[in-house]
Structure 1
Amino acid sequence: MAIQYTLMTSAVLSALASTSFAFAQSAEQSLPTVTVTATPLGGDENAQILAPAKVLSGSELRNKLGSSLGDTLSQELGVSSSGFGAGASRPIIRGMEGPRVKILQNGMAVSDLSSLSNDHAVATDPATARQIEILRGPASLLYGSGAIGGLVNVVNDRIPTALMPKPTGEAEMRFGSVDREKSLSFSADGSAASLGLHVDGSVRDSGDYRIPGTALRNDPASPSGRLPSSFTRAHSLGFGASHIAGWGYVGASIDTRSDRYGIPTAERAYIDLSQTRGDIAGLVREPFAGAASFAFKLAASDYTHTEKEEDGTPATDFANKSFETRWEIAHLPIAGWRGTIGMQTDNSKLSALSAATGRSDTVPTTKSSSIAAFLVEERDFGPLRASAGLRIESVRRRPDDPGFSDRRINLNSYSLGGLWSFLPGYSIGATYSIAQRAPAPEELYSNGPHESTATFDIGDPSLQKERSRNLELSLQKTEGLVRWKANLFENRLRNYVYGRTDGSTVDDSGIDDPAGEFVRRLWAQDRARIRGAEAELSYNQRGEGLSLRGYADTSRGVLVGQGNLPLQPATRVGIDLGYRQDGWRGGVSALHALRQDRLAAFETTETPAYTLLDANLSYTLRQGGVQWTWFALAKNLMNRDVRLSTSLLRDVAPQPGRNIVIGLRTRF
């Protein structure tokens, strides 16, 4: 841990040394406040107590936009990527992934199967997002046990909440060199009388991407030039409408998406994915005495994907049908306390059937249901803002297999925290939380081959609920041209669920076979601990002229008494340098990741250090009521061979090489 706290100390000392410079500025710029919609109490991203927040929006989001959600967020503080090819890359937050990181769309679960396996894509489109919110640390108090490690909320405002005085919209097209990318995205809003209207959509087509060296490490005979089966094809379309009045609004939306993307393993399989989703949402202001508002959301999703062999032969059909509801009442202050009380329900049916036989060869068809009640309260005591919350949840798993029994698991989570503004613009915070997670169906009931990961997964139906104790300390400066933040965290987990391999290869029936194409993976439990540090220093992030951002993050995850957790992120340091003047905007960024040699007992290869150099340049002009932006992005300018320690494919699938992206964006 010496390197972790050395990084943190250096960043904090540098930030403190710069505060006198901030006070010396003759004219302090006022930065726009960005509201975090994924918290019941809302508010600025710098004022979050339950979990540190980051919001990506505007030009910052467009410049960081990648081929997947994980790629888009991979350089954010405390966030890395699973790196499973261009089509399926999921965010990893502080070393936690899969069923511990929940992905939301407009505050409701995406309801895909990306948490089940790293080869499954996230079924939401960052290209049409207005903003993306990241809550680092346990957010299960807010959104259930699937957020024990954090959450990501993709906000596209598909259900309008305000009437537009005139039609507005934006569109963007871009072309990329590394994978011959061609993409188009658009969104538009308007109104007719009291009806708010919205439409958005996107199309993306890319081929296999270029790599700097060979696909397999230290194997000159392996593919080079382009990584086989790394292509993506995707399109989405969504509509929404709301009736909006002085009392509030009520609306509905529907969207559909379809993806086809390759799995860059030796088998060269690919996945065909589709989802249709419908949402209803509403808000009533001051519905009755003592209530500030009543809000509700309902979401229904029909998700399917088929894993196919290289020749197109279907192997496994996955499906997930879900229906989720969320109800919240924000009350008026009571003895100075303001807060929200709510209820959430979720019902889903997961299946993974053999395409040839129709049998549940991988995970038995499982119905899951949950019901939860939660309360979040906040109060200011002069310069101290205190927060407290409680969530009670009951989860039930019902497998459609006589060999497995039903499971009912009761979960209790709570959080206590405070944020003390000891000087104007300076604050120190502390949060202690206990969060519990129910084992996912695949962790309980898996018993079969998974083609895309080349594993034969064996679950444990006796797994107990996972319990996390998290302590977080933060120090930040939130005003002035120079701003900074630093976080220290420790997460102790009991009954931590993880997949381990015993080195055995098996056939598609699970029988030991030295020539078998599958590696046996068993779900097990043990005690674990994750601790780490994050720091960020910025100068003039919104104003014209020179801007600067430096950051560092590190974490260490261990199975207590048994070595390291698998797939842990590397320690990273980065710097962004930018310049804005009139319509011009440009910048250069460098990210250096240290060698990751802290391997789990069954991991065999470390990942070497690497440095990524990126750049961007854009010019914006107005013609009448239309804004035009020409832009160019350069990613991995030095064409480095990058292997992610968080990727299952780090030995066989490097990240893309040098990529030049050009495009045009318009807003009206």
Structure 2
Amino acid sequence: MSFPLHRHGVGAAVLALIACTPGASWAQAGAASTAPATTSDASAPSLGEVTVTGNPLGATDLIAPTSSLANDALLLRSQSTLGETLNGLPGVGSTYFGPNASRPTIRGQDGDRIRILQNGGSAPDASALSYDHSVPVDALVTERIEVLRGPAALQYGGSAVGGVVNVIDNRIPTEPIDGFGGRADLGYATGNREKSGGVVLEGGNDRYALHVDAFRRDSDDVSVPIELGCENPHRPGFARKICNSANEADGGAFGGTLFFDQGWLGASASTYRSNYGTVAEDDVTIGMKSDRYALEGEWRPGGFFTNVHAKLSRTEYRHTEYEGPLPGTTFRNDSNDLRIEARHQKIGNLEGMVGFTSERGRFSATGEEAFAPNSRTQSNALFLHEELGTSWGRLSFGARTEQVDVQSLGDPGNPANSRFFVGDRDFHPSSAALGGLVNLTPQWQLSSNLAYTERAPKDYELFANGPHVATAAWETGDPNLKVEKSTGLDLGAQWKQGANTARFNAYVTRFSNYIGLTATGNVRGADGELNPPPIELPDGLLIEPETFADYVYHGVRARFRGLEASGNLQLLGADGFSRPADGSTLDLEWRGDLVRATNTDTGEPLPRIAPWRIGSTLAYGNGPWTARVGFDYNAAQNRVPPLGDRATEAYTLWNASLNYRMRVQNANLTWYARIDNIGNTLAYSATSILTTTVYPDAPLPGRSLKVGLRATF
């Protein structure tokens, strides 16, 4: 029995499509949708219907720019972090804080402007607070990852102004499962001696379904093309390794669902634990754990509201930084999330839904490096999403209004600490979006999205005041910040004829109040004193005190604009220039993107923006065999702010993979080998703060061979 895919995501939306976006980056594999076709049954696992996060009503033509990774495409791209797994998709980069902490960036925006969801619901952690905080997600037990770019992310709140990443794991099955199935993965990579494994099992009948999964990763320091120094007592001296980049991670989940005549109700409990080096400090490691409990259900009452879908979850996140064997600063984030969506019956050609979300979070940081106070954040929101079908295409409209309260509790463990503002702020952001899709011909579609978005400032943007080692800065918030406001426009064109595709998007987002972290040009001492003088020793010698670059959060006018393009050209095959008798195919996948971000108050570039990128992959398929070879070119990034960023040189990374599929009794086996950075090229990420703060100690990984096996049954 093949392992089934199930319908997930927001509402009951269903879209039958191949499991990956055309033209996705080759960086670690390539997209399944452009992979060569095969004729072997063993090489073609069954695909079910999947949901696209960008359309909660299930339309098969997407107005919003959306990418999806699943099955082999996700398997072959997967890395130990969410950011590196997605890096290279159209418009998507990563914050790359070494191999163990990396969050996605979308169209030049990062942090809390990118909303990370789990099965369509909130998945809080502390990864947006600091670049060295990892996202508690692992691709080994993930069924699919969807990326929604641009203005259409409105329905998920102002914090999704840059985009949405939805991680779908089926821990609460949303459809009956007939019988028993699952998958198991084993992998080994030479670049960091990583050993990884995961298992997912599911079973049930028409009245209940059960899900269980577990995974583990264990890796050493990552190999790089140059020798780097290390003061870690466990590995002193110089080596071709990134010091303190080892990692251990494991986790798992159990979930189940009961099905009724008019709906279903399910629950799950999951855990994620990781111990990893911070890279920025040779002797500091992080012990992180996240426990999540979720309840989800759907009721189909009939009448005006045909479907009511609800999600309730609680997440308990803890993260402790160890200096050697001793615990230092501990970060906690406990959060409750509720999301209710009610879909109404069609009114003529108009269909849509209304919804309510409520989030409650409590953050605390205790220790010497607690640069933000304890805080409590509460938000409630109402939203709607409507679509009107026409003879020439479709129109969509969305609106959202929120009430957000952010309260600083100071430092309860040390009432004498007067660094932190104590008080609260109340915000009422509102947003609206309009989208349209026009079918010009059977092959061509045009789309457009326009959105006005407001985002309430986050707790650290308001109340931070302290040294942040991960950014090598003293960060100061502004309790008087106003709501961040932006207007975004996206224009797209898509062409498809058989296996040949092309997709183009152009966008611009203008902020009238972009909340950024900006260098002042000053420094602060260990106690926050501004530009401290040299320290005079008893013998009259002067030494410079320890200082941090001074950064402040404040609102500026800003503009983001860019281009994205991707596609596939079949050279051999049914839609190619020739049709080989053996059924083999040869496809050329291509991609590229560009983003420019400017502080329009000063005319200076905004920090950590990716340069323009292009890439291409040749993908050959013959029966059960698939072979791929390609490159990704990143241009030099010299467009950096005068304070706080380092320019980066251009680089090209070559990659290749080979996989073979076979069937053994009731199991489909996929054997694969993948080589990353074939030329062992030295490269530094323009979007990583490490490129500035610890240069040259954190380059991108060097050459690595990964071999693995997936069994699906």
TM normalised by structure 2 equals 0.85
Change (3 A) 1:222 1:139: farther
Asked if structure 1 preserves the Cα contact closer than 8 Å seen for 2:54 and 2:62, the reply is no
Q: Are residues 1:253 and 2:253 paired? A: no
| Structure 2 partner of 1:8 | none
Asked if structure 2 preserves the Cα contact closer than 8 Å seen for 1:34 and 1:55, the reply is no
Classify the secondary structure of the residue corresponding to 1:400. Answer: strand
Deviation at 1:622, TM superposition (A): 0.6
Deviation at 1:538, TM superposition (A): 0.9
Q: Are residues 1:529 and 2:559 paired? A: yes
Asked if structure 2 preserves the Cα contact closer than 8 Å seen for 1:198 and 1:240, the reply is yes
Q: 1:603 aligns with which of 644, 651, 654?
A: 644
Deviation at 1:518, TM superposition (A): 3.0
Q: Are residues 1:131 and 2:176 paired? A: no
Q: Are residues 1:430 and 2:436 paired? A: no
Classify the secondary structure of the residue corresponding to 1:104. Answer: strand
| Structure 1 partner of 2:707 | 662
Change (3 A) 1:504 1:630: same
Q: Are residues 1:298 and 2:312 paired? A: yes
Q: Are residues 1:643 and 2:684 paired? A: yes
* Whole-Å separation in 2 of the counterparts to 1:63 and 1:43: 28
Classify the secondary structure of the residue corresponding to 2:471. Answer: coil
Q: Are residues 1:78 and 2:124 paired? A: no
Q: 1:289 aligns with which of 300, 303, 311?
A: 303
Asked if structure 1 preserves the Cα contact closer than 8 Å seen for 2:195 and 2:218, the reply is yes
Classify the secondary structure of the residue corresponding to 1:62. Answer: helix
Q: Whose relative contact order is higher, 1 or 2, with alpha carbons under 8 Å and at least 6 apart?
A: 2
Counterpart AA for 1:108: G
Classify the secondary structure of the residue corresponding to 1:654. Answer: coil
* Whole-Å separation in 2 of the counterparts to 1:604 and 1:624: 56
| Structure 1 partner of 2:200 | 187
* Whole-Å separation in 2 of the counterparts to 1:497 and 1:405: 20
| Structure 2 partner of 1:520 | 550
Change (3 A) 1:99 1:615: same
Asked if structure 1 preserves the Cα contact closer than 8 Å seen for 2:177 and 2:206, the reply is no
* Whole-Å separation in 2 of the counterparts to 1:212 and 1:248: 56
Counterpart AA for 1:665: R
Give me the CA root mean square deviation: 2.4
Q: 2:214 aligns with which of 196, 201, 205?
A: 201
Deviation at 1:33, TM superposition (A): 6.6
Classify the secondary structure of the residue corresponding to 2:75. Answer: helix
Deviation at 1:205, TM superposition (A): 0.5
* Whole-Å separation in 1 of the counterparts to 2:163 and 2:566: 19
* Whole-Å separation in 1 of the counterparts to 2:264 and 2:218: 37
Query: Please, which moves more after superposition, 540-549 or 199-208?
Result: 540-549
Deviation at 1:419, TM superposition (A): 0.3
Q: 2:254 aligns with which of 239, 247, 255?
A: 239
Deviation at 1:116, TM superposition (A): 0.8
Counterpart AA for 2:252: L
| Structure 2 partner of 1:60 | 73
| Structure 2 partner of 1:276 | 291
Asked if structure 1 preserves the Cα contact closer than 8 Å seen for 2:350 and 2:386, the reply is yes
Q: Are residues 1:474 and 2:492 paired? A: yes
* Whole-Å separation in 1 of the counterparts to 2:398 and 2:596: 28
Q: 1:451 aligns with which of 469, 473, 484?
A: 469
Deviation at 1:224, TM superposition (A): 3.9
Q: Are residues 1:409 and 2:434 paired? A: no
Asked if structure 2 preserves the Cα contact closer than 8 Å seen for 1:141 and 1:374, the reply is no
| Structure 1 partner of 2:655 | 614
Deviation at 1:430, TM superposition (A): 1.3
| Structure 2 partner of 1:90 | 103
* Whole-Å separation in 2 of the counterparts to 1:419 and 1:361: 48
Classify the secondary structure of the residue corresponding to 1:162. Answer: coil
Counterpart AA for 1:526: V
Deviation at 1:540, TM superposition (A): 5.1
* Whole-Å separation in 2 of the counterparts to 1:262 and 1:612: 25
Change (3 A) 1:649 1:430: same
* Whole-Å separation in 1 of the counterparts to 2:426 and 2:304: 36
Asked if structure 1 preserves the Cα contact closer than 8 Å seen for 2:501 and 2:568, the reply is yes
Asked if structure 2 preserves the Cα contact closer than 8 Å seen for 1:505 and 1:516, the reply is no
Q: Are residues 1:370 and 2:370 paired? A: no
Asked if structure 1 preserves the Cα contact closer than 8 Å seen for 2:54 and 2:153, the reply is no
Corresponding pairs, count? 631
Deviation at 1:335, TM superposition (A): 2.9
Classify the secondary structure of the residue corresponding to 1:420. Answer: strand
Identity of aligned residues (%): 34
Asked if structure 2 preserves the Cα contact closer than 8 Å seen for 1:250 and 1:281, the reply is yes
Q: Are residues 1:557 and 2:573 paired? A: no
Q: Deviations over 1:152-174 (max 9, x none)?
A: 00100110112222211001010
Change (3 A) 1:297 1:34: closer
| Structure 2 partner of 1:6 | none
Asked if structure 2 preserves the Cα contact closer than 8 Å seen for 1:119 and 1:453, the reply is no
* Whole-Å separation in 2 of the counterparts to 1:385 and 1:162: 29
Query: Please, which moves more after superposition, 115-124 or 190-199?
Result: 190-199
Counterpart AA for 2:350: W
| Structure 2 partner of 1:14 | none
* Whole-Å separation in 2 of the counterparts to 1:473 and 1:214: 46
* Whole-Å separation in 1 of the counterparts to 2:302 and 2:515: 45
Asked if structure 2 preserves the Cα contact closer than 8 Å seen for 1:618 and 1:630, the reply is yes
Deviation at 1:35, TM superposition (A): 2.7
| Structure 2 partner of 1:15 | none
Asked if structure 1 preserves the Cα contact closer than 8 Å seen for 2:177 and 2:205, the reply is no
| Structure 1 partner of 2:517 | 499
For structure 2, the residue ranges without an aligned partner over 5 or more in a row are 1-22, 24-33, 35-43, 230-235, 411-419, 533-543, 575-583
Please list, as runs of the form range in 1=range in 2, the aligned pairs for 1:18-33 lying within 5 A after superposition: none
* Whole-Å separation in 2 of the counterparts to 1:629 and 1:436: 46
Please list, as runs of the form range in 1=range in 2, the aligned pairs for 1:626-641 lying within 5 A after superposition: 626-641=667-682
Query: Please, which moves more after superposition, 122-131 or 539-548?
Result: 539-548
| Structure 1 partner of 2:181 | 168
| Structure 2 partner of 1:3 | none
Classify the secondary structure of the residue corresponding to 2:85. Answer: helix
* Whole-Å separation in 2 of the counterparts to 1:267 and 1:174: 28
Change (3 A) 1:222 1:418: farther
Change (3 A) 1:410 1:327: same
Deviation at 1:517, TM superposition (A): 5.0
Asked if structure 1 preserves the Cα contact closer than 8 Å seen for 2:183 and 2:712, the reply is yes
* Whole-Å separation in 2 of the counterparts to 1:361 and 1:209: 29
Asked if structure 2 preserves the Cα contact closer than 8 Å seen for 1:298 and 1:326, the reply is yes
* Whole-Å separation in 2 of the counterparts to 1:612 and 1:545: 25
| Structure 2 partner of 1:230 | 245
| Structure 2 partner of 1:337 | 350
Counterpart AA for 2:322: K
Change (3 A) 1:223 1:467: farther
Q: Deviations over 1:276-317 (max 9, x none)?
A: 1001111122x14122211000010000101222x1322211
Query: Please, which moves more after superposition, 502-511 or 472-481?
Result: 502-511
Change (3 A) 1:140 1:411: farther
Change (3 A) 1:254 1:32: closer
Query: Please, which moves more after superposition, 360-369 or 460-469?
Result: 360-369
| Structure 2 partner of 1:578 | 619
Q: Are residues 1:399 and 2:408 paired? A: yes
Q: Are residues 1:42 and 2:58 paired? A: yes
* Whole-Å separation in 2 of the counterparts to 1:339 and 1:193: 29
Change (3 A) 1:33 1:539: farther
Asked if structure 2 preserves the Cα contact closer than 8 Å seen for 1:449 and 1:508, the reply is yes
Q: Deviations over 1:37-68 (max 9, x none)?
A: 45422344xx222x310001111111111120
Deviation at 1:501, TM superposition (A): 2.2
Change (3 A) 1:478 1:222: farther
Counterpart AA for 2:487: R
